Amino acid sequence: MSYHHLSRHHRQPQADMNPPDWTKLKFNPVGLQEIEQLFQINRNTLARHPHRFLASNIAWFCGGACSDGTHLTVPDTFHQLFSQVREGLPSKRDASDSTRERNEVWKEMEKKVKQSVFDHVTTWDRAFGGSTIVIHVEGTTRPGSPVVPEHLRAYTYLPPIVKQLSETHQPVIDLVQSFIRHIGIPTAHHFKAAARKLHWSLDGRAEQTPNPYPATITFPSPVSSSSLEHVFYGVPIHDVGNLSHAFSSTTLSETVETESQITDTDALEEELRQLEEQNDELMAVVHTLQDENNLLKTQVRSLMARTARDLTTSSPSRPSPFVRSTPKPAYPTVTQPQPALPSNRFQPSSPHSVLASTRSPQPTTPSRVAASRLTVDTPSIDNLFLEPGSVLNTQFRERIIYLVTTTPPLSWLTELQKYGLGTEMVLKLLAAMNEDAKSF
């Protein structure tokens, strides 16, 4: 965090390689850079928190200012600190844009100091439960502007309670507008008089008076949704009497609604308590379901591992079914010759062709699959097809029996995956096929 954080678009005055001692530091852009060097904070740390370190450097110069006894100045002159800030601005050697650049850097530094003040009072209110209002009117005005309320504006920090209670809005508007009229106007006159003594041309090349600011007659929105800063624009003196009427006509419904909400506070608190209890119960159900889901995942992984072991391990007491020339028939064997099976017999046209359908199934005849293959005992496979709500149809059973009686077990998984079945169904079929194959 150096002075470079005050303005990214302007040439910056550089501090000396050997900064002065603590007693010679001055509050200006150069001084903020020099104090950074004196603190000797790690550069990486500075880079991670530039705004916080800038705020701490500003705070170092502010310490004790409220009670140092140097508040009063000679009439129509600036405080000596005003001159210190101007000393640290960019050099005047470039006549083309030096004045504009110096003013922009000056305004940027003022913006950072304002933000630091607002951050401090925000912390003050939060930490100790109080409420603070800050109202700041600039001494400067736009070139060519008369010193009247409608050409002035006030930057304010308002505590959260003002946002929560709409009945405080009108008193705050009255307070800020009174401050603009009774404090802001004398402040602007004082600034112009002090500037004239320094032979400054405040109006520059203004050829006409700028338009007034839009008067703040209703409560303004904050500068951002997350901020407590508001900007109020002055109201012409002849319109001050209309403020209360304008405000009351626009906020009457809000006030009535607020009073109704206060009356129902107890009911709302009870409803909130019940909702919190329901939320706790629902969270307990969620945790239970998560535990059950994890258990099911574990069981699936275990079944997959067991099936894989069974597919790769054959029992010495039971020969593999695909090596026998004649399978064991459970019923009388059909003696007619078995027709040749087309090579694409078990390639479905779509992944869903093996599932149950509301359409009429294709006719199934003994000639399509050898009777010796259809009549083997397959109780485990049959149970899958008889399960309530099973997505498998009878026609697909023929394909499974043909697969289990003619294909090596190591190929079953690959063949089943071709039918587009879900992982759970594939695992069930593998387990059933492996179990029934032991009896062949």
Question: Do residue 184 and residue 113 come from a single domain?
Answer: no
Check if the beta carbon of residue 381 is closer than 8 Å to that of residue 397.
yes
DSSP, collapsed to helix, strand or coil, labels residue 233 as strand
**Rounded to an integer, what distance in angstroms lies between the CA atom of residue 154 and that of residue 133?**
12
Residue matched to tokens 């050099």 = 91
Write the DSSP string, 155-217. EEE--HHHHH-GGGHHHHHHHHHHHIIIIIHHHHHHHHHHHHHTT--TTTT--SPPPPPPP--
Question: Do residue 115 and residue 169 come from a single domain?
Answer: no
Does pLDDT of 177 surpass 90? Answer: yes
pLDDT of residue 218: 92
Average pLDDT over residues 188-202: 88
Question: Do residue 112 and residue 143 come from a single domain?
Answer: no
Does pLDDT of 326 surpass 70? Answer: no
Average pLDDT over residues 212-229: 93
What Å distances lie between residue 24 and 17, 57, 81, 253, CA to CA? 15, 15, 13, 59
Average pLDDT over residues 27-41: 76
Summary mean pLDDT of the chain: 75
Q: Which of 5-19, 154-168, 241-255, 363-377 has the highest mean pLDDT?
A: 154-168
Residue 268 in domain: no
**Rounded to an integer, what distance in angstroms lies between the CA atom of residue 287 and that of residue 127?**
37
Quote the domain boundaries for residue 162.
Answer: 131-203+211-263
Residue 295 in domain: no
Q: How far is residue 104 CA from its own chain's centroid?
A: 33
**Rounded to an integer, what distance in angstroms lies between the CA atom of residue 172 and that of residue 180?**
12
Does pLDDT of 226 surpass 70? Answer: yes
Question: Do residue 136 and residue 163 come from a single domain?
Answer: yes
Hey, what amino acid is at 13?
P
Domain count along the chain:
3
Residue matched to tokens 């736009």 = 142
Question: Do residue 152 and residue 184 come from a single domain?
Answer: yes
**Rounded to an integer, what distance in angstroms lies between the CA atom of residue 363 and that of residue 331?**
22
Q: Which residues, including other chains, have CB under 8 Å from residue 275's CB and lie 6 or more apart? A: none
Question: Do residue 135 and residue 108 come from a single domain?
Answer: no
β-bridge mates for residue 393, sequence order: none
Question: Do residue 235 and residue 326 come from a single domain?
Answer: no
